[in-house]
Chains A and B, each alone.
Chain A
Amino acid sequence: MKRDGKVSMRLSFIAPRKKHFFSMFTKIWLIFIALVIVLLSIFNVFVLFKTLEYKSSVVNLESQRKSLASTIEETDKKIRFIVRQKAIAEEIYANNIILKDSMKNLFDLVPDQITLNKVLMKKYSLIIYGVTPTKDTFNSLLAAPLKSIFHTSKTVFYLTQDGWYNFVSTNKIISPDKLEEQ
């Protein structure tokens, strides 16, 4: 009947009441505090999670921004290229109109008696091949206006078998660059 070493030796008719380390009031407080801690830590975790999420989205957006910047650069390049092309096209168009006008003018200039065989039109020069009945006809009807347009105008006549003249009129204007140099 040694008491020591015995795990449970019953002496009483009834079992003791359950003992609590903390009173009800303390328990409520502890539960409340624990609850607050839990909620705060959940919130903390949430904030941490969100921060991480934002950080990763920042990285994403940064790379997106970079790619967009490079696209913008490329687009700019394209725009510049197109603008240049547009300018060129406009120039060509304008030149064409000018050309067309000058052609029209030229053809308007040519009187009915004179027949043109070939026209070589360059930027600063105009070479006309044609047939004229007389030198005077050419000189009076076509040479005069040509001289007024071009800086230099030279005409060479060749007598044909039927008594008419083949002519080659070489007209030049001095290009604006050269004009400036002078």
Chain B
Amino acid sequence: MVFNIARVIKKNIPTVFIAIVQEDDIWIINSKVIKNGIVKKKFSKSFDVQEEDALPQDMSEYLERIQTDYNFAYVSLFLDSTGQGAIYGNTTSDFEKNSVDIKNVTHFDTDAKWSVYASFIDINWIKKLFSQVGIDFIYSPFMVQNFLLEKEKRKKEPILYILNHHDCVTISIFEEADLVFGAFFRTKSDEKLVNSDEIDYWDNEPEAQDTIELFGRDVLIYKYLISSLREYYSNDLYRSEFIEKIVLFDGDEVSPDLIKMVKNNLFMDVELQKVNIHEVICEMSINEAMQ
């Protein structure tokens, strides 16, 4: 009863939800003021990343100002660091099977079936980065995907989902509500995360020779898709059921060529859905804060 009263009061107080997503070297901040479930105000601002280990001074001030203006403020961040993933299962042995050291990651499960994780170092890094302005939620791209999936009708047959963010690609395979495979890749060009062998391998492909930058990134996505599928089909960890459909949540820009390539080369059905990751993050924080 007390809880309900608190909830009603909470609902009627204007609350600001601040969604922060980094794209390239820019912090993009989208804020929504919600009162009684209705969006009262919207504002956004972006800041250039100046230092690696600190938020820009003006960004800190901006965030602090919003949080002083509104008593109830939730700051949420899209996690795009490398040391993260999602696996099927939630036990220590499940983590071991997937070569993840459970002691070094922050993790939680969904319906006790599948888990998402991120390295302690990354989470602590973010906590430290936002220690002055404060942070409420850190969202894994897998949870973003899952959140998008919940709006759809679940299919029994496995479907591969791709979440395309400006700096990273998240690939997961869902069987109904259960994630059975998850892979996360960064696509930011300045990071040398890509195995050189693979680059060599793809350099041999005629399609990769195209000079358009966007196409270059699409190649990366394509490559990660191939390697994910290869992993899914070849590794004994997975049931390796045949996948016919790909749903691409595009939070950036993919060229029609990529879709064409997947269709032609992999003989898979591709469904393209444009998504706004900022909006989704904001929606997730509203959902989580108001429950």
Q: A residues within 8 Å of B by Cβ? A: 1, 3, 6-14, 16-17, 19-23
Within 8 A of A (CB), among B102-151: 106, 108, 110-111, 116, 118, 123, 127, 134-140, 143, 147, 150
Please, how many angstroms separate the alpha-carbon atoms of A20 and B13 in the complex?
12
The 24 sampled A-B contact pairs (Cβ below 8 Å) are A1-B111, A1-B150, A1-B177, A9-B287, A9-B288, A9-B291, A10-B110, A11-B143, A11-B288, A12-B137, A12-B143, A12-B285, A13-B79, A14-B136, A14-B137, A14-B138, A16-B137, A16-B288, A16-B289, A17-B136, A19-B72, A20-B71, A21-B13, A21-B71
B71, B118, B139, B150: the one contacting A3 at CB < 8 Å is B150
| With contact pairs A1-B150, A1-B154 given, residues A16 and B74 touching in the complex (Cβ less than 8 Å) | yes
Please, how many angstroms separate the alpha-carbon atoms of A155 and B13 in the complex?
134
Cβ of B291 and Cβ of A13 under 8 Å apart? no
Please, how many angstroms separate the alpha-carbon atoms of A23 and B71 in the complex?
7
Chain A residues closer than 8 Å to B154, beta-carbon distance = 1
Q: B residues within 8 Å of A by Cβ? A: 9-10, 13, 71-72, 74, 76, 79, 106, 108, 110-111, 116, 118, 123, 127, 134-140, 143, 147, 150, 154, 177, 284-285, 287-289, 291
Interface of chain A: mostly helix, strand, loop or mixed = loop
Please, how many angstroms separate the alpha-carbon atoms of A85 and B44 in the complex?
113
Distance in angstroms from A122 CB to nearest chain B CB is 109
Question: Nearest CB to that of B111 among chain A residues?
Answer: A1
Cβ of B291 and Cβ of A7 under 8 Å apart? yes
Please, how many angstroms separate the alpha-carbon atoms of A20 and B9 in the complex?
12
A7, A11, A17: the one contacting B147 at CB < 8 Å is A11
Chain B residues closer than 8 Å to A19, beta-carbon distance = 10, 71-72
Please, how many angstroms separate the alpha-carbon atoms of A21 and B136 in the complex?
16
Please, how many angstroms separate the alpha-carbon atoms of A23 and B179 in the complex?
42
Chain B residues closer than 8 Å to A12, beta-carbon distance = 76, 136-139, 143, 284-285, 288
Cβ of B177 and Cβ of A13 under 8 Å apart? no
B13, B108, B118, B289: the one contacting A10 at CB < 8 Å is B108
Cβ of A16 and Cβ of B136 under 8 Å apart? yes
Distance in angstroms from A9 CB to nearest chain B CB is 7
Chain A residues closer than 8 Å to B143, beta-carbon distance = 11-12
Distance in angstroms from A160 CB to nearest chain B CB is 133
Please, how many angstroms separate the alpha-carbon atoms of A20 and B123 in the complex?
24
Chain B residues closer than 8 Å to A8, beta-carbon distance = 291
Distance in angstroms from B243 CB to nearest chain A CB is 20
Identify the 3 closest CB pairs spanning chains A and B, nearest first: A16-B136, A12-B137, A13-B138
Question: Nearest CB to that of A12 among chain B residues?
Answer: B137
6 A-B pairs besides A16-B137, A20-B71 with CB distance below 8 A are: A7-B291, A9-B287, A11-B147, A12-B139, A14-B106, A16-B74
Please, how many angstroms separate the alpha-carbon atoms of A22 and B147 in the complex?
32
Cβ of B150 and Cβ of A11 under 8 Å apart? no
| With contact pairs A1-B177, A21-B71 given, residues A13 and B123 touching in the complex (Cβ less than 8 Å) | yes
Distance in angstroms from A20 CB to nearest chain B CB is 7
Please, how many angstroms separate the alpha-carbon atoms of A32 and B143 in the complex?
45
Chain B residues closer than 8 Å to A23, beta-carbon distance = 71
Chain A residues closer than 8 Å to B74, beta-carbon distance = 16
Cβ of A14 and Cβ of B287 under 8 Å apart? no
Question: Nearest CB to that of B105 among chain A residues?
Answer: A13
A1, A3, A17, A20: the one contacting B287 at CB < 8 Å is A3
Chain A residues closer than 8 Å to B110, beta-carbon distance = 10
Cβ of B108 and Cβ of A13 under 8 Å apart? yes
Distance in angstroms from A141 CB to nearest chain B CB is 128
Chain B residues closer than 8 Å to A16, beta-carbon distance = 74, 136-137, 288-289
Question: Nearest CB to that of B76 among chain A residues?
Answer: A12
